[in-house]
Amino acid sequence: MKRLRVRCSRLLPLFVLLGAAAAAPASPSPPDTSATAAGPGFVLWAKLDDVVGPITAGYLTDAVKAADRRNADALVIEMDTPGGLDTAMRQIIKAILASDVPVCVYVAPNGARAASAGVYITYSAQVAAMAPGTNLGAATPVNLGGGMDSTMAHKVANDAEAYIRSLARLRGRNEAWAAEAVRKAVSLPSQDAVKEHVVDFIARDPRDLLQKMDGLTVKTASDSSFVIHTAGAEIRDYPMSFRYQALSILNNPNVAYMLLLLGFYGLFFELSSPGAIFPGVLGGIALILGLFALQSLSVNYAGLLLMALGVLLFFLETQVTSHGVLAIGGTVSLLVGSLLLINAPEPYLRVSLKVIIPAVGASAAFFIFAVAMALRAQRRKVVTGSEGLVGTLGVARTPLDPEGKIFVAGEHWTARSATGAPIPQGARVEVVSVDRLKVVVKPVGDS
């Protein structure tokens, strides 16, 4: 017991210290420096300077998600577009409306435009601005698959008008002008767009844009008021990834057309020379990429079949003697198919004539040249084999009475006189015909 008392007396100061530490108020923890509440934030900057299609829609959708994920102060979409596909446009607008970060559409640089689908995207953003010398408008929907009857055109126009009116009401912009942009395809320069309350202001450059955005109160997807603080904010570019850059090249109808031609001709040369391998591999890859590129375009399958028929006729020209008829048919089929391949009302969605005419002309010139060389080879005198001996001159090594030996084309042949008359030794003779391993000759000139 004595030893236990001694040990407890020794541990008593330790218990006192522990109790005092537990009873003492906790000291304040050091401030969290990971969150920089004070100081300027950053703005994510994306660019749309192409046709609105699946590639640009995926890129801008990723930009909106990145702005949300990184807690950016705002996302700015610098826009210069002639328009594009309705489905891609709606995908971009859905992403903007679902964003908790304010989105600003900035029609820039000077001379840029926001036409057709670009108008809808501009109306969907919380902030809309334009650079000097820019314009927007002409939002009338068009059918990329060809003509529409009056009933269908009326339905599409009503749907487009209702859609842009809803966006105008949501963002408090000019609803009447939006309806006219759809019904009458009207457009506005930047100064008039501000006066008509279509956009919020004109900004000379990115810094001027961020300065004028600063302090605006907008509503985000969570339906909460959000005060934008962008004065002095850092601008961080959000460039296209390599994947989107590569796919955006395929989004060009001229590139899709050339890939189709390369694919067709690669398979053509592989079928013409089986075992070459490289043309077949290259043609297969190009053909698949071309068909992938056509998925975002309005393809006329009659035009695609006519192009394939043209290449098939070119191939048959190399296999069948048609004296150029199949080559001419292939040229006409390829030209008509190229013109019909993409049926779109807007020039930027069609294959350019500057691409079609040189491509068809080069194809026709190549195959016409090949046919001409084939016909020339057919008319050329045979110079090999037994047929090549006919008309060749030789010398009689022995008298031909009526048979003997002659020397012709570097060889000794058994020969027979064509007339039956004797031919003396050393006389010059000409081969008239070949009878198995014996030649028939006639004398030529003097001995």
- Write out the DSSP string of 91-140: HHHHHHHT-SS-EEEEE-STT-EEETHHHHHHHHSSEEEE-TT-EEE---
Spot the catalytic one: 47, 99, 116, 296.
Answer: 116
User: What per-residue string of b and e applies to 272-288 under the rule 16 or more CB within 10 Å gives b?
Assistant: eeeeeeebbebbeebbe
> What mean pLDDT do residues 75-94 have?
93
Alpha-carbon torsion (347, 349, 351, 355), positive or negative: positive
pLDDT digits (tens, 9 = 90+) for 114-124: 999 999 999 99
Angle, in degrees to the nearest 10, between helices 117-124 and 86-97: 10
Which residue ranges make up each domain of the chain?
Answer: 42-243, 252-379, 386-443
pLDDT digits (tens, 9 = 90+) for 271-311: 777 777 888 899 999 999 888 888 767 788 899 899 999 88
CATH classification (class only), 386-443: mainly beta
> What mean pLDDT do residues 108-117 have?
94
The SS3 assignment for 151 reads helix
Predicted confidence at residue 385, as pLDDT, reads 58
Look-up: residue for tokens 């694919």?
Answer: 263
Residue type, 31: P
Predicted confidence at residue 36, as pLDDT, reads 37
> What mean pLDDT do residues 46-59 have?
91
> What mean pLDDT do residues 43-70 have?
93
The C-alpha torsion from 266 through 271 and 276 to 280, rounded to 10°, is 40
Spot the catalytic one: 2, 34, 124, 155.
Answer: 155
State the pairing for strand pair 234-237/127-130.
unpaired
Q: How does residue 446 score in pLDDT terms, banded at 50, 70 and 90?
A: low
Helix runs in 172-241, H state only: 175-183, 190-195, 206-213
Cβ neighbourhood burial of 91 (10 Å; 0-12, 13-18, 19+): middle
> What mean pLDDT do residues 400-414 have?
86
Is 155 a known active-site residue? yes
Q: Alpha-carbon distance 73 to 209, whole Å?
A: 14
Q: Alpha-carbon distance 218 to 225, whole Å?
A: 6
Contact 375, 388 (CB under 8 A): no
Contact 128, 200 (CB under 8 A): yes
Domain 42-243 in CATH: superfamily?
2-enoyl-CoA Hydratase; Chain A, domain 1 (3.90.226.10)
pLDDT digits (tens, 9 = 90+) for 304-361: 899 999 888 888 877 777 777 888 898 999 999 999 988 776 677 788 889 999 999 8
Contact 393, 427 (CB under 8 A): no
Q: How does residue 198 score in pLDDT terms, banded at 50, 70 and 90?
A: very high
> What mean pLDDT do residues 251-262 have?
89
Q: Which residue has the higher pLDDT, 150 or 2?
A: 150
Q: Is the pLDDT of residue 127 over 50?
A: yes
